[in-house]
């Protein structure tokens, strides 16, 4: 495989919407998401009222790549081979002895190579900004149940799923139910970041270069329209040839075509199921096979090359790479936060170059947690390690295996020429390759030990 990746070589460019094309004011949105779940659990399921307030210092607990072991009430951080590196019971971090007592085997019992795509009643992985507030909430629920002495079974998950359904069901936006959608609709400026002109110009450049552009999002059509019109502008339909809402990823990529047909839309209501996709437009649900057949027609190529930008390893990057063999670009805002941690920043860079888009907010979620360490690597605190080398985390390993490249935002590449050659991830390359504009500090600190054997 070539070491380089260029957008100029791609025929089709696809985008997830939330936290990809549309970026959020993360501190405000995180609180809104947390409150939307907590209010439901306290009001409807009679959970402890202490859940309604989350101290600011508690947000350090949130870290991408954690798994919630629903049987034990434990959060765990895994290595790429499934080894449990760190763990907590609720928000209380576990000692090495406690870890060894519960997770004696080298690999977590539910660990498989396909773990990225699976979610069951036994565990849940947190890998995106919509999920992370729920991780803190669940950890605090475990704390509450532990204090009560209810240790036989941690059966709160069904209530958490009910709170998710209440706030995010397809009809919630139209009905103005729950807290999340009413909050966004009433004050979009508080939660949404306007797309910078550089990104809009870049999208038009892609279009002018003959690329087919599409949006593929799990958001329902009414919410998708609000986001696109507010963030990009009322003319967003002139930019994107195809819009697919309520895509139900990752099933969009993994299900057989006849199990997930495209649906037509009328006034944001799903109508007729389509046996195939014959023309550009706005659709709901669907599958990647039928989409690819349409892309063949639109490009006039038997094997058009597709690249897909997204922020979720579970819903976007892994399935698009694994099932559809698309190029994938992971949006990881932690890379921008990682740059800001550099002690001596280049103060000669003009403020206008940084852009208002990057300065509007300060992220509550970081690449490094005091409790969990780096989301990319770990120094094996829960293992009897014979050396001081760093271990690549499960999340870091997935990034290397399924992403073509990783960037902090679309704005980070918008000023580059379309034929710019990125150094891509590849099986025989250093784990520091593939990140643009530069690798995270945690990888650079011990990059030699993270080179594949």
Which among 445, 437, 378 has a CA at the least distance from the CA of 407?
Answer: 437
In the annotation, is 18 catalytic?
A: yes
Which parts of 290-427 are beta strand (E)? Answer: 306-310, 327-331, 368-369, 373-374, 377-378, 391-392, 405-407, 422-423
Which among 16, 35, 69, 316 is annotated as catalytic? 16
Which among 11, 18, 311, 316 is annotated as catalytic? 18
Distance CA 276, CA 365 (A): 41
CA dist 192 → 64, 83, 357 (Å): 21, 38, 11
Residue 345 sits at φ, ψ, to 5 deg, of -80, 155
The two tokens of residue 395 are 């999340």
CB 363 within 8 A of CB 23: no
Q: What angle do CA 222, 226, 227 make, to 5 degrees?
A: 115
Q: Is 392 exposed, middle or buried (CB count within 10 Å of its CB: 0-12, 13-18, 19+)? A: buried
Neighbours of 56 (CB within 10 A): 8
Catalytic residues: 16, 18
């Amino acid at each position: 495989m070539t070491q380089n990746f260029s957008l100029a070589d791609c025929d089709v460019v696809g985008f997830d919407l939330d936290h990809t094309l549309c970026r959020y004011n993360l501190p405000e949105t995180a609180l809104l998401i947390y409150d939307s779940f907590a209010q439901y659990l306290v009001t409807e399921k009679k959970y402890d009222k202490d859940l309604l307030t989350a101290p600011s210092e508690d947000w350090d607990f949130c870290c991408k790549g954690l798994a919630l072991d629903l049987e034990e009430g434990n959060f765990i951080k895994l290595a790429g081979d499934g080894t449990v590196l760190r763990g907590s019971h609720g928000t209380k971090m576990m000692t090495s002895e406690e870890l060894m007592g519960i997770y004696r085997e080298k690999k977590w019992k539910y660990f498989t190579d396909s773990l990225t795509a699976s979610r069951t009643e036994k565990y849940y992985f947190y890998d995106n900004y919509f999920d992370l507030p729920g991780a803190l909430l669940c950890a605090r629920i475990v704390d509450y149940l532990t204090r009560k002495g209810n240790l036989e079974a941690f059966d709160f998950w069904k209530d958490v799923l009910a709170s998710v359904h209440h706030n995010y069901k397809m009809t919630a936006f139209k009905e103005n139910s729950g807290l999340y959608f009413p909050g966004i609709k009433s004050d979009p400026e508080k939660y949404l970041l306007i797309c910078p002109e550089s990104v809009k110009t870049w999208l038009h450049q892609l279009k002018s270069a003959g690329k087919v552009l599409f949006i593929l999002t799990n958001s329902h059509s009414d919410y998708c329209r609000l986001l696109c019109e507010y963030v990009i502008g009322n003319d967003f339909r002139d930019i994107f040839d195809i819009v697919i809402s309520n895509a139900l990823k990752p099933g969009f990529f993994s299900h057989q075509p006849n199990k997930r047909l495209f649906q037509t839309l009328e006034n944001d209501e799903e109508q007729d199921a389509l046996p195939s996709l014959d023309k550009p437009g706005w659709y709901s649900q669907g599958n990647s096979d039928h989409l690819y057949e349409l892309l063949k027609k639109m490009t006039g190529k038997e094997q058009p090359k597709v690249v897909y930008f997204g922020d979720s390893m579970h819903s976007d990057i892994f399935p698009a790479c694994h099932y559809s063999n698309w190029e994938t670009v992971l949006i990881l805002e932690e890379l921008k936060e990682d740059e800001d941690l550099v002690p001596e920043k280049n103060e000669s860079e003009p403020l206008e170059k940084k852009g208002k888009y990057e300065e509007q907010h300060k992220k509550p979620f970081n690449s490094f947690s005091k409790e969990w360490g780096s989301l990319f690597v770990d120094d094996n605190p829960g293992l009897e390690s014979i050396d001081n080398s760093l271990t690549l985390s499960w999340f870091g390993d997935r990034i290397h295996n399924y992403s073509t490249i990783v960037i902090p935002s679309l704005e980070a590449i918008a000023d580059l020429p379309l034929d710019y050659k990125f150094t891509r991830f590849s099986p025989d390359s250093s784990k520091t390759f593939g990140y643009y504009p530069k690798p995270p500090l945690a990888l650079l600190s011990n990059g030699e030990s993270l080179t594949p054997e």
